[in-house]
Amino acid sequence: MLTFWARLAGAVIVSSLLTLPATAQAQVPTKAEAAEAAYFKGKTVRLVVGYGPGGGYDVYARMIAPHISRYLGASIVVENQPGAGGLSALNTMSIAPPDGLHVMIVNGAGAALAQLLNGVGVRYDLAKLGHLGTVAASPWIWLVAPQSKIKTPADALNAGREIMWSATGPMDGLGDGAQFTCEALQMKCKVVMGYNGSNQAALAVTSGEMDSIYVSDTSANNYVKSGQNRAVAAMARKRSRFFPDVPTIFELAKLTPDQAWLFDFRANIEDLGRILVVPPGMAPERLAFMQDAVKKALTDATVIAEGERTQRYIDFQDAETTRKRTLSVVAEATPDQKARVKSILDVK
């Protein structure tokens, strides 16, 4: 019996030893990865924010910077470069050296719309930038006042009058989202701009001054939880994590192909969310190394938990998904579709 157990133990040891080299080999970085790790060691990466300190993009950047730094092996400093709604910094990023030391967190939706509409001063091309991934993107929600008679989109369509939407400006998400909604549903609307931020715009709906507001689900969650607004619909094919019982516009309305295209196109813009980009022309090995570092950081359970705790939610999408969504908006829209979007947003 002793011989049997001795032989069994020996077999187990041999088996374990045989598996170790394969496991160890899987953890050894490739020659290219080792070279990139050596390159970033001791260097400083600038993470540019196109807005001033204290805003949402700045807070996100400062939250994720130390975690990406850990996987990249370089120090990361957040640098605020406000101007033209983030477009000035994006123009600068598009001509920065593709050395891996320049990264930007971008309002993907705003940047894509500005490019699509040939905005004044746009000198970047989102399709040519290097994409590291999407930090977060939110479904957007149609909100009304708690006492509003609008329970469904059909109620708004049958109201017999213009539905008043509150917004801060024509391209703030609130205003252009409302315009897309009204066009798609062929609904009589008036978008009233000039409110000082989404909080004020939402309060205008609460008071009955306005009928509706179109906001991200993270903002909508705060407004609904406080009792000041009520959700009518999620404005894409996917329900919101905050409003699992609120149907989507696709569930609530029988849409024609044209209507569905408008809502899908708008949702693709919104899905760009907060994206991380680098200058065009980066060496493939360096770009892949940075993409991997970002993916590891933003799928780390502790980082996701930190975002939940601080209400800076992370909904990571990888670099290729981000790139494809970007292309679907800025590179694949036909001339007729671009003209349609310009017409909806009244851009001359």
For residue 8, what pLDDT is reported? 43
Predicted confidence band of residue 225 (pLDDT cuts 50, 70, 90): very high
The pTM of the full predicted model, rounded to 2 decimals, is: 0.81
Residue among 342, 318, 317 at smallest CA distance from 136: 317
Tokens 């009589």 appear where?
188
pLDDT tens by residue, 5-32: 444 444 444 444 444 444 344 568 899 9
Of all residues in the chain, the percent with pLDDT exceeding 70 is 92
From residue 12, give the alpha-carbon distance in Å to each of 16, 18, 21, 26.
6, 10, 15, 22
Structural domains in the chain, sorted by start: 33-137+273-344 (3.40.190.150), 140-268 (3.40.190.10)
Residue 268 pLDDT exceeds 60:
yes
* Low-confidence winner among 105-109, 152-156, 169-173, 237-241 (lowest mean pLDDT): 169-173
Residue among 254, 220, 223, 225 at smallest CA distance from 239: 220
For residue 15, what pLDDT is reported? 44
Provide the CB-side half-sphere exposure for 182 (13 A, CA): 22
Predicted confidence band of residue 347 (pLDDT cuts 50, 70, 90): low
For residue 345, what pLDDT is reported? 86
For residue 117, what pLDDT is reported? 86
Predicted confidence band of residue 348 (pLDDT cuts 50, 70, 90): low
Mean pLDDT over 188-205 rounds to: 92
